[in-house]
Amino acid sequence: MTQSSHHQLPDGLCELALGADRLRDALELDAWAFANPQNVDDLLTLPNPLPPDRSWGLSPDGRQLAAMHASYPFTDTPVPGGRLDVSGLTWVGVHPQWRRRGLLRSMIASHFTNSLARKEPVSLLFAAEPGIYGRFGYGLAARSTTLTIPRRAALRPVATDGLSVRLETVDADHHADLVAGLHASIDRPGWVTRHSDAARRTRVINSPLFAEGRETQRILIAERAGAPVGYAMFRRKAHWTDSGSPAYEVQVVESVTPDAAIAHLIWSRLLDLDLTTTVVTGMLALDDPLLSLLVDIRAANPTWSDQLWLRLLDVPTALAGRRYQAPLDVVIELTDAELPTNAGRWQLQAAPFAPARVQRTDREPELRLDVRELGAAYLGGTSLGELAGAGLVEDLTGTKLLATSAAFGWPIAPVASWVF
């Protein structure tokens, strides 16, 4: 047994590393925590993206698992105007028998300590229950939208000269590098890429375990001068109406459309597949080109959801690691109940799109907020003005809020294309 960090453990429990030899135990715990329907023996045949050196369990006896958590090493993750090493919290689960005993708090403390030791100043997660993580300082930093688009929905015209498409069945050996390379080329805040070969192959595995009644996974690849420049992975689901008419649904698993021409070509083809009546997109950024290309956005029935939750672990490093879109000189008084070293007054100075300076100060504070709200604003997808309107940010001068909110904004909305 190896303890990951020095923090208070719940009585009667020890912390242990979950190496590759404990994968079955981790999968069984995950099944208990999330009622996963897949058979563990079947899951063991697939690539597993869990990093064995970043996965930890809580156990009463060193054998059975009461809880577990892990993190992905999201190196070189885009943030506004920069890139940082980010710790992606994942696989957080507690066995039903061990609920309400402080296990989650202990695991979060472990995650914070380990991430800081690895010099990862930011933590990201997808929340299974959005009400949980705010109390640990995570703020809602990115939202996404999903569209359900009628077949042959009209798009505004865009020239697609020089582009072609090909349709193929997804194959891990053939498509893993293509998908990973195009995916990693996107420079959008929060756009985390897959960290390992196992993680990359997991996205292009054609296992029936995840089909949910749909066809095998397909990929539409856009090419320019013979080189791949974009893609969409999708599955169709057969459905026939009572009158015998086809009403198939196209479920888009993931799309990468770096420019308007590529987006127009890919979505045009997806919206005109035979036998289909609707196309359901994956998670799109709130400024995804498709939203502006659609002639009738209302007919696409847009819905939005919370997406990335962000926690600042090392405030000065994180604030200095991004850029700001307007001149900025502000003193922020920050509270942080979980990591007191972040609390206090910070002076943040920056010229537009230039490196920032962050330092401790004794100057009078101009804005007062909690680390949760600062994390929510960090990627530029949630404005400080919005948070102030909810009473969560206090402008102590009456003059600093609008300028600081404008500086923290960003021209490109944050999003992640996959749930980790």
Query: Would you state the pLDDT for residue 87?
Result: 98
Residues 341, 302 within the same domain: no
Contacts of 94 (CB under 8 A, 6+ apart): 33, 66, 67, 103, 104
Specify whether the CB–CB gap between 310 and 124 falls below 8 A: yes
Residues 169, 111 within the same domain: no
Query: Would you state the pLDDT for residue 9?
Result: 87
Query: Would you state the pLDDT for residue 2?
Result: 43
Q: How far apart are CA 113 and CA 95, in angstroms?
A: 23
Residues 61, 183 within the same domain: no
Residues 396, 365 within the same domain: yes
* Range(s) of the domain holding residue 344: 308-408
Residues 272, 257 within the same domain: yes
Last-in-domain residue among 306, 333, 353: 306
Q: Is residue 8 domain-resident?
A: no
Q: Is residue 131 domain-resident?
A: no
Q: How far apart are CA 323 and CA 353, in angstroms?
A: 5
Residues 103, 163 within the same domain: no
Q: How far apart are CA 258 and CA 262, in angstroms?
A: 7
CATH number at residue 151: 3.40.630.30
Residues 66, 175 within the same domain: no
Domain total of the chain: 3
Residues 272, 151 within the same domain: yes
Residues 321, 302 within the same domain: no
Contacts of 131 (CB under 8 A, 6+ apart): none
Per-residue model confidence as pLDDT tens digits over 280-332:
999 999 999 999 999 999 999 999 999 999 999 999 999 999 999 999 999 99
Last-in-domain residue among 306, 332, 357: 306
Contacts of 126 (CB under 8 A, 6+ apart): 90, 307, 308, 309, 416, 419, 420
Per-residue model confidence as pLDDT tens digits over 24-77:
999 999 999 999 999 999 999 999 999 999 999 999 999 999 999 999 999 999
Which residues of the chain have a pLDDT value below 70?
A: 1-7
HEC string for 320-350:
HCCCCCCCEEEEEEEECCCCHHHCEEEEEEE
Q: Is residue 111 domain-resident?
A: yes
CA within 13 Å, CB half, 319:
27
Residues 172, 302 within the same domain: yes
Residues 325, 214 within the same domain: no
pTM of the predicted structure, to 2 decimals: 0.94
Last-in-domain residue among 306, 329, 352: 306
Per DSSP, the residues of 27-52 read HHHHHHHH---S-HHHHTTS-----G
Q: Is residue 418 domain-resident?
A: no
Q: Is residue 329 domain-resident?
A: yes
Residues 298, 312 within the same domain: no
